Structure 1
Amino acid sequence: MVRLKFLFSHGDLIMLRSLFVLGLFTAVLSPSAYADSLLIKQAKIVQPDQAQASAPQDVLIRDGKIVAIGKNLGKSQAKSDRQIDGRGKFLVPGLIDTHVHLDGVPGYAGKRPEDEAMLKEARLQMPRSYAYFGFTTVLDLTGNPSFIADWNSQPAGPQAYFCAPVTIPNGYPASWMDKDLQFQVEGTKYMLFDPAQPTVYPANFKPEAHTPQAVVAAAKQDGASCIKVFYETGFGAKKNLPVPSPELIQAVVAHAKSLKMPVYLHGNSQAAYEFALKTGVTTLVHGMWHETKQVDPLMNQQRLQAMARELATADISIQPTIQVLYGEQEAMNPDFFKNPQVDHAIPQQLASWYQSDAGQWMSKLLAEELVGSTNSPAERYQAFQKMYAKPLNTVRQMTQQLQKNGARLLFGSDTPSGPFYTQFPGVNGRWEMDRWLETGMSLPQLFSALTINNARALGLEQSIGSVEVGKRADLLLLDRNPLLSVEAYDSIAQVILHGKPHARASLSAH
């Protein structure tokens, strides 16, 4: 495998004054009967299952939900304490990224006390960076209930849900911990008893509490929205890792589905895709990055084509996560921080640290182990681009085959996939959009994947994913139509989170 992984305040008044000046926000301080209400006037609504934007409509939001949609609500009973002029703009559902990892600051390793102020600033900005790029809902594929509750208490950021990571001892990702520590961390409660490794468990480990049924039930009780399982034989320094048997995961899948919990499988190889077909998981959370070695290339390509048809028939969804490979490659790009989008995602103090000798630790490690440390930065970057050409070609081809055969592709960015600052919250998802279009995906297909398809995958289509009465008011007001241009996602004027509008500029890391 190629990659390594190891009430108003003073500030509120200033913001409101700025919005008045910009002409984006018209506030009417009305009686408390209309408190926490918002009227978006005369915006064209773009729905994921419709080919064209609607005629201009008013949308009334109250207590965080859409309560009315009509042509001239402002002239009827729809009183509100705030209004946004949506003339000439496009109102769309907020974007959904169903593959993120929210804990930690990407690319930071260590616990230096002098870095604490920088890290605190970064942690406060990361939810805002997701929102800045339009993401109003995220799914942490290896989350825990206490962290997710803290995340969702923040004033400006996407609503987070989480999957419980169901593992086996010494397998991925437990293998990155000490052999004893893997049984002591919080996630141990979701560890399966693996009959193939009966002697590795500590004396206090109770197998009856770690059956597929018990583990899934515990995850459900903890508030998990889904289960994540793993088929990963290893990479880097960790190779030949044990993987669960198909029978063990089949039992996990059966019980999870009985509780209406989707099962996400980490896997990016041909063997992992075969495992998905055997076990009937709901979603593969990576693209096909790596083909099986030592097979006839022609026969292997025939198998990949057949596999794409089988996945579509089995109704197993796939997240291509192509940007993961680009992100690892870009860790060697000496001009990465010249991209203006990066400035809006990463706080300046953290960006400066990333470019310091300490912050370049991962880039130096990659250079030493993979291409030699004597090359210039430009030469190292070129070497990485050459090295990543084959897996990128593989994932593009397989994504095209899946699309051709009608498989369901779900949008997930794997932000961040590892200790890479090049996969920072929000902007990494924006770049994943570009990667999809490079495979021949259409703009309407991308829009549906970012919205209603992910909502349906999470069983949340009654709450999010489209602009409809009764749904949560997580919305974007754009200057351009996303069905016609991917640059529409760069033209966000307002991000509306639970019915509260935020000027996009107020969410920037600037």
Structure 2
Amino acid sequence: MSCSHFSSFSGFSMFLAAGLLASFSHTDARADSVLIKQVQIISGDQAKVSVPKDVLIRDGKIHQIASNLSKAATKADRQIDARGQFLIPGLIDSHVHLDGVPGYAAPQAKDEAMLLQARKQMPRSYAYFGFTTVLDLTGDPAFIAKWNAEPAAPTAHFCAPVTIPNGYPAVWMGKELQFQVQGTKYMLFDPAQANVYPASFDPAMHTPQAVVTSAKKDGANCIKVFYETGFGAQKNLPVPSVALIQAVVQHAKNLKMPVYLHGNSQAAYEFALKTGVTTLVHGMWHEAKNVEQFANQQRIEQIADEITRAGISVQPTIQVLYGEQEELNPDFFQHPAVAHAIPAKLASWYQSEAGQWMRNLLAEEVAKENKSPAEMYQAIKAMYAKPLATVARMTKQLNQRGAQLLFGSDTPSGPFYTQFPGINGRWEMDRWLETGISLPQLFRALTIQNARALGLADTVGSVEVGKQADLLLLKRNPLLDVGAYDSITQVILRGKVHQRDSLSAQRIQAE
């Protein structure tokens, strides 16, 4: 997990489609071909609502789009009367961490049934909230393959995490283990730390070119690098040199692999400008964290100009800050959407003494004296006010200049149950709108722009013949109302139709 902000700041129905077959249930996922009748399509860069069209899905792809297709002529297995509904591309979240159950850190045999249920639900939770493609920014090839074998899981892609010894995040593994685990397979040889490597470490196998080539061979879509100077007990961490990351970027570009940089401070943004990375995967939360003397908050507007001119994309990831403070919200589990994301057994555990461990750690940071739950919640919101104001300001500046903003939720940024799959991305949408980003901009960032950034625009991101049938049917128009993303009726994953309700965590309790 990225532990992005926690590790850097606090120390640690109108109606269902008319004519929908009465038997259309969870078993619809077995349908080989589907004809969607008279649906209004929204897609592309200049997204607008089409006149009603018929869409034929066959063999997992969009086979035909026309004004009038018949079930008999197309020999479709299923037909959906979608009059009054909207068909859009499935949503893309390009910043997730898929392995592990958020907030669960100490496995115990008595929890295994609960954890099995949680692991089964997590892919469904992404799909329930409309996400049909996800990018794991620190993924393992074997885990990604297992994830993609699940029938109701969004298609997952992954970045290879390129690290240096004793830096973030390798330092969390320990001085010795960092050289042994699969997660450091792509560790660079850092000339500045030449004496820390074990004798078994072959520098020739860990040059920028060798590491990037290995990642590409393993199926990675992208490279992730890190600029993080530390937090809590782990401070003053080494960061890679500009020259080292410039070499990584050059080799990655030669292989058509984007380079994502973990960095949420002004210093990290300066590093991005010097190294030429493709995308910054966090908003700027800290304008004064380890910056050079000449750099201060007055540079924010100038940096926004420079980031825009350099063509570096940015993921604001604002919701993770809210998610961290929500750990102290006594009413969090009363939010109606939470029950659709988090299975009831897991939600109960989160509210138990064992499940409140991270909440209690945050509480110690917020207040040393006794306070009521409501007072604790207000105290942590006050603590997060400054970084939230900074990231909002930078996001507005970037947006006003026309910088490319890519949608990524950083789900989860750390051991936070308040950043659960799917729902965390849905709340990130609200955060974007609060900074002045428009609904059409949000729609494009969730679909075609993310697809292009990942090199997947020939496969997903728009409603076009020949593309993978990852689609959503909605009751309302998402170009006019963000609540439209709450009106999903069907989620189509690789051509298989799932009624949204079948993906809810409430449904898994009965299975």
Same fold, TM exceeding 0.5?
Answer: yes
Q: Secondary structure at the match of 1:199?
A: helix
- Residues 192 and 373 from structure 1, CA distance in 2 versus in 1: closer, same or farther, beyond 3 angstroms? farther
Q: Which residue does the alignment assign to 1:12?
A: none
The reply to whether residue 128 of structure 1 matches residue 124 of structure 2 is yes
Q: Which residue does the alignment assign to 1:159?
A: 155
Identity, % of aligned positions? 73
CA-to-aligned-CA distance 1:126-149 (integer Å, 9 cap, x gap): 000000000000000000100000
Asked if the contact 2:267–2:291 (Cα under 8 Å) also holds between the matched residues in 1, the reply is no
1:357 aligned residue (353, 360, 365): 353
CA-to-aligned-CA distance 1:376-408 (integer Å, 9 cap, x gap): 111111000001000000000000000011110
Asked if the contact 2:17–2:85 (Cα under 8 Å) also holds between the matched residues in 1, the reply is no
Equivalent residue letter for 1:396: A
Asked if the contact 1:283–1:317 (Cα under 8 Å) also holds between the matched residues in 2, the reply is yes
Equivalent residue letter for 1:454: N
Q: Which residue does the alignment assign to 1:255?
A: 251
Q: Which residue does the alignment assign to 1:3?
A: 10
The reply to whether residue 368 of structure 1 matches residue 352 of structure 2 is no
Asked if the contact 2:86–2:474 (Cα under 8 Å) also holds between the matched residues in 1, the reply is yes
Equivalent residue letter for 1:152: N
Q: How big is the shift at 1:372?
A: 2.0
Equivalent residue letter for 2:242: P
The reply to whether residue 507 of structure 1 matches residue 483 of structure 2 is no
The reply to whether residue 461 of structure 1 matches residue 468 of structure 2 is no
1:403 aligned residue (399, 405, 417): 399
1:438 aligned residue (430, 434, 441): 434
Q: How big is the shift at 1:51?
A: 4.3
C-alpha separation in 2, matches of 1:160 and 1:25: 31
- Residues 223 and 270 from structure 1, CA distance in 2 versus in 1: closer, same or farther, beyond 3 angstroms? same
Equivalent residue letter for 1:365: L
Equivalent residue letter for 1:314: A
CA-to-aligned-CA distance 1:415-456 (integer Å, 9 cap, x gap): 000000000000000000000000000000000000000000
Q: Which residue does the alignment assign to 2:53?
A: 57
Report the TM-score when normalising by structure 1: 0.94
1:312 aligned residue (300, 308, 312): 308
Asked if the contact 1:91–1:475 (Cα under 8 Å) also holds between the matched residues in 2, the reply is yes
Q: Does 364-373 or 155-164 show the bigger shift?
A: 364-373
Equivalent residue letter for 2:440: P
Equivalent residue letter for 1:404: Q
CA-to-aligned-CA distance 1:321-373 (integer Å, 9 cap, x gap): 00010000101101000000000000000000000011000011111233226
Q: How big is the shift at 1:77?
A: 3.5
1:139 aligned residue (111, 135, 141): 135
Q: Map of 1:44-83 to 2, 5 A cutoff?
A: 44-74=40-70, 77-83=73-79
Asked if the contact 2:18–2:81 (Cα under 8 Å) also holds between the matched residues in 1, the reply is no
C-alpha separation in 2, matches of 1:368 and 1:75: 62
Q: How big is the shift at 1:298?
A: 12
Asked if the contact 2:160–2:186 (Cα under 8 Å) also holds between the matched residues in 1, the reply is yes
Equivalent residue letter for 1:443: L
C-alpha separation in 1, matches of 2:326 and 2:224: 28
Q: Map of 1:9-28 to 2, 5 A cutoff?
A: 23-25=19-21
Q: Which residue does the alignment assign to 1:485?
A: 481
- Residues 297 and 490 from structure 1, CA distance in 2 versus in 1: closer, same or farther, beyond 3 angstroms? farther
Q: Secondary structure at the match of 1:414?
A: coil
CA-to-aligned-CA distance 1:79-110 (integer Å, 9 cap, x gap): 20111111100000000000000000001110
Q: Secondary structure at the match of 1:92?
A: strand
Runs (5+) with no aligned partner, structure 1: 6-18, 29-33
C-alpha separation in 2, matches of 1:318 and 1:269: 13
Q: Which residue does the alignment assign to 1:90?
A: 86
- Residues 298 and 74 from structure 1, CA distance in 2 versus in 1: closer, same or farther, beyond 3 angstroms? farther
Runs (5+) with no aligned partner, structure 2: 1-7, 25-29, 507-511
Q: Secondary structure at the match of 1:59?
A: strand
Asked if the contact 1:38–1:81 (Cα under 8 Å) also holds between the matched residues in 2, the reply is yes
C-alpha separation in 2, matches of 1:472 and 1:237: 47
C-alpha separation in 1, matches of 2:218 and 2:177: 22
C-alpha separation in 1, matches of 2:280 and 2:377: 30
Q: Does 178-187 or 368-377 show the bigger shift?
A: 368-377
C-alpha separation in 2, matches of 1:454 and 1:285: 13
Q: Which residue does the alignment assign to 1:222?
A: 218
Q: Which residue does the alignment assign to 2:387?
A: 391
Asked if the contact 2:472–2:491 (Cα under 8 Å) also holds between the matched residues in 1, the reply is yes
Equivalent residue letter for 2:116: K
C-alpha separation in 1, matches of 2:238 and 2:291: 22
Asked if the contact 1:129–1:507 (Cα under 8 Å) also holds between the matched residues in 2, the reply is yes
Q: Which residue does the alignment assign to 1:447?
A: 443
Asked if the contact 2:96–2:136 (Cα under 8 Å) also holds between the matched residues in 1, the reply is yes
C-alpha separation in 2, matches of 1:445 and 1:120: 38
Q: Which residue does the alignment assign to 1:149?
A: 145
Q: How big is the shift at 1:50?
A: 2.7
The reply to whether residue 182 of structure 1 matches residue 163 of structure 2 is no
Q: Which residue does the alignment assign to 1:429?
A: 425
Q: Which residue does the alignment assign to 1:36?
A: 32
C-alpha separation in 2, matches of 1:143 and 1:22: 42
Q: How big is the shift at 1:297?
A: 12
C-alpha separation in 2, matches of 1:222 and 1:373: 51
Q: How big is the shift at 1:290?
A: 0.3
Asked if the contact 2:267–2:292 (Cα under 8 Å) also holds between the matched residues in 1, the reply is no
Q: How big is the shift at 1:4?
A: 4.2
C-alpha separation in 1, matches of 2:489 and 2:95: 25
Report the TM-score when normalising by structure 2: 0.93
Asked if the contact 1:27–1:83 (Cα under 8 Å) also holds between the matched residues in 2, the reply is no
